Structures are given as C-alpha cells and as structure tokens.
C-alpha cells in the first residue's frame, strides 16, 4: 500500500509541475502571503517584545512548525483539501471498485503547488529564527509528525461531514482555515471555554502549540500527551469517515 501511495503522490506532483507558469505563480503567491503574515508578527514583537511569556523565537517556532506541516501535508496528501467535494460529487463510486485504502487514495490524488511555498517558508523559520539547535532535531521531527497527524485527522473529520450535510463542501474548508488561524496565536492567550475548544472540537492546540511545547521542554510526559492526542484524533477521524462511508454505500448520498 505504501508503494501505491508513493506512486500516486509522484504522479500528483508531476501533474502540479506540468504547468510551470501556474506552479511558479502559486508558490510565489503563497510565499508572499506568508511573508505579509510574518511581517505583521515581527512588527508586533518589535513593539511588545513578549506576550504571555512568548518572545519572537517562540513565535518563529510556532509559525515554522505550522507552515512546514501544512506544506508537507499539501505536497504529499493534498487531496485532503477537496475531500468533502469529492464525497458530495459522488467520485467515491469509482474509487470503491478499487482495492482497499480509500482514504490514502483520496489524500494522494492531488499535490498542492502552493504548499511548496509554505514548506520553504517554514524551513527558513525553523532553521534560522526559532533558536533550535541540532540537538532539537529529533524532537522537531516528532513534533511535525504528530502535528501533521492531528492536522490531517481534523481535515478528514471535517470532510466526513459531507456524508450527512450538503453544505459541508465549503464548511469543512472554513473549519480547517479557522483551526489553522486559531493555531497561529501564542497559547497563553487562550483561557476558559476558548481553551477547551482549542484542545477539543478544534484541535488547534495539538497541531502546533503542544508540539512546540514538546520541543522546548521535551520529556516522557509531554511525548505521551502528543502521541495520545494524535492517536485519539486519528481514531475519531477514521471512525467518522467509515461510519459515513457505510451510509454512502447504502445509497444515502447527498448532492453536492
């Protein structure tokens, strides 16, 4: 199954590269978008220096993790972005006649050109501005892995709403974009009910905030927390998707 996934990803990347002009524009547009966002934070910290214990290198780590995992996910599992539309358009019918691995085939069917811009920007932040050393590399890779699992799991969960609601096509994207936006603020600003939401319904706290804490203060307890979170969200996403798939197989399909 891994070999099939790799082959499909290679084909998706080649397709995204086929139009060099469009590819360059999308990557450049994403880099510009990220740059504007980063400049705003840079100007903010130039004036306030610290927010709730978060300084400029901490924000660089937060943003670097987020941009890198969004970039990696977009390049190698870009099908997550339109999964709800795929379900609503009835495109699962053809995929269901193929061997097992439906979710992996949905994820690998597209590679997002703009994601290369996120990937490049994230790498620059992590390497030059976050204050990481070579000794932090293993924890950074773990943080990216668990954050990526939570991010993809949330995307699959939101897209699975398309099995029950025709409006999920745009709603799932808005939920994902809102979750990412939620992830880009220092964790100490979240209190009370907002904090509960950030660590439950919208897993923003487990996409980059908790993984960033793992890098700054690594240890068995912090590692256990992020692994349990990734496992929990992945299990919930798979359960919800297959529950909806059973409804789809019964012919209870909604029009997109």
Per-residue pLDDT of the chain (256 residues), as tens digits, is 788 889 999 999 999 998 888 889 988 888 888 888 888 888 888 777 787 788 889 989 999 999 999 999 999 999 999 899 999 988 888 888 877 789 999 999 999 999 999 999 999 999 998 989 999 999 999 999 999 999 999 999 999 999 998 878 888 988 998 888 888 888 777 888 888 888 888 888 899 999 999 999 999 999 999 999 999 999 999 999 999 999 998 876 665 5
* Cβ neighbours of 186 (radius 10 Å): 17
How far from 30 is each of 38, 83, 113, 129, 196, CA to CA, in Å?
12, 21, 9, 19, 31
- In the three-class reduction of DSSP (H, G, I as helix; E, B as strand; rest coil), residue 223 is classed as helix
Cβ-in-10-Å burial (0-12, 13-18, 19+) of 81 comes to buried
DSSP 46: H
d(CA 99, CA 39): 47
Which token pair is 219?
């240890």
């Amino acid at each position: 199954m891994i070999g099939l996934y790799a082959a499909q990803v290679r084909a998706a990347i080649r397709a995204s590269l086929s139009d060099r002009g469009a590819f360059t524009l999308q990557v450049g547009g994403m880099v510009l978008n990220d740059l504007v966002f980063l400049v705003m934070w840079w100007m903010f910290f130039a004036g306030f220096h610290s927010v709730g214990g978060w300084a400029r290198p901490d924000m660089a780590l937060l943003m670097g993790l987020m941009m890198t995992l969004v970039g990696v996910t977009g390049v190698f599992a870009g099908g997550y972005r339109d999964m709800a539309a795929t379900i609503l358009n009835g495109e699962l019918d053809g995929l269901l006649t193929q061997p097992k691995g439906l979710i992996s085939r949905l994820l690998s069917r597209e590679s997002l050109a703009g994601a290369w811009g996120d990937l490049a920007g994230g790498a620059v932040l992590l390497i030059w501005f976050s204050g990481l050393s070579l000794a932090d590399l293993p924890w950074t890779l773990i943080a990216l892995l668990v954050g990526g699992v939570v991010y993809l799991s949330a995307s699959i969960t939101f897209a699975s709403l398309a099995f029950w609601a025709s409006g999920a096509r745009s709603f799932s994207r808005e939920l994902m974009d809102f979750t990412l936006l939620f992830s880009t603020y220092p964790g100490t600003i979240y209190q009370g009910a907002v904090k509960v939401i950030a660590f439950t319904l919208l897993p923003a706290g487990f996409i980059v905030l908790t993984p960033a804490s793992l890098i700054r203060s690594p240890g068995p307890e912090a590692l256990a927390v992020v692994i349990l979170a990734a496992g929990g969200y992945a299990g919930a996403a798979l359960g919800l998707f297959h529950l909806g798939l059973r409804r789809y197989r019964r012919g209870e399909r909604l029009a997109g």
